[in-house]
Copies of this chain bind each other. A is one copy, B any other.
Amino acid sequence: MAKIVPVDNGSKRDVVIKSAAAMFRDKGFAATSMRDIAEQLGVEAPSLYNHITSKKEILGEICFGVAKMFIANLKEVESSSSSVLNKIESIIRFHISMMVEEYKSVYISDHEWKHLPEPYLIDFKNQRRNYRSKLAALLQKGIDKGEVNPVNPHVAVLTILSAIGGIDNWQRSSKKIDRKTLEENMVKLLIDGLKK
């Protein structure tokens, strides 16, 4: 579970993880059996263990892989020279992109992390709390500079991240709204609000 590999290097191991991710997202981690994953790949369940060591390891790869990407993006944005509001918008857009392009993995890291075994569970929760704290601090800076509406930064982080996480829901639907419309409207709503 410790090893984090690139998402798409094409190894059989990654194929197994990608396939598992799709099923974990559709049926949930607990309701997906190793036999389900094997069947989708056209092999028998025991064969999967040549590539991974346990079902929970797959979950760990997915959750920590997603966390790593968000943390890396945040670091990059933090070191840029934009205004705070632009930094926040950039982070929002990155989250939206991730939810559009990698929604299966992101959904799992949003909702199925609770099935991680210790000590990975505590590690994941810490990374998550730390990430949100940094976002809240950034928002606070924006408030102090007068760029951001004075609002509780922790509530703002919760609101922003949850709103974006809901794109999973759009992915499940018939997708009549295109990606650009989704992104621009969600950004506008979060930045400018409902009221005209």
Closest CB pairs A-B (n = 3): A162-B166, A193-B193, A30-B30
Per-residue contact bits, chain A 2-31, to B (CB 8 Å; 1 contact, 0 not): 000000000000000000000000111111
- Is the CB of A74 closer than 8 A to any CB of chain B? no
Between A28, A85, A88, A195, the greatest number of chain B beta carbons within 10 A of the residue's beta carbon is seen for A195
Q: How far is the CA of A154 from the CA of B182 in the complex (A)?
A: 9
Interface residues of A in 152-183 (CB under 8 A from B): 152, 154-156, 158-167, 169-170, 176-177, 181-182
User: Residue A30 contacts which of B31, B158, B194 (CB distance < 8 angstroms)?
Assistant: B31
Q: Which residues of A contact B (CB under 8 A)?
A: 26-31, 85, 88, 111, 114-115, 142, 146-152, 154-156, 158-167, 169-170, 176-177, 181-182, 185-186, 188-196
Question: With A28-B114, A149-B194, A189-B149 given, is the CB distance from A166 to B158 under 8 Å?
Answer: yes
In the bound complex, do residue A193 and residue B149 qualify as a contact, i.e. CB atoms below 8 Å apart? yes
Number of copies: 2
In the bound complex, do residue B163 and residue A167 qualify as a contact, i.e. CB atoms below 8 Å apart? no
Q: Min CB distance, A43 to chain B, in Å?
A: 24
Contacts of A162 in B (CB 8 A): 162-167, 169
Q: Min CB distance, A37 to chain B, in Å?
A: 15
Main secondary structure of the interface of A (DSSP, over half): helix
Question: With A27-B114, A162-B162 given, is the CB distance from A195 to B155 under 8 Å?
Answer: no
Contacts of A196 in B (CB 8 A): 146-150
Contacts of A147 in B (CB 8 A): 195-196
Q: Which residue of B lies closest to A173 (CB)?
A: B129
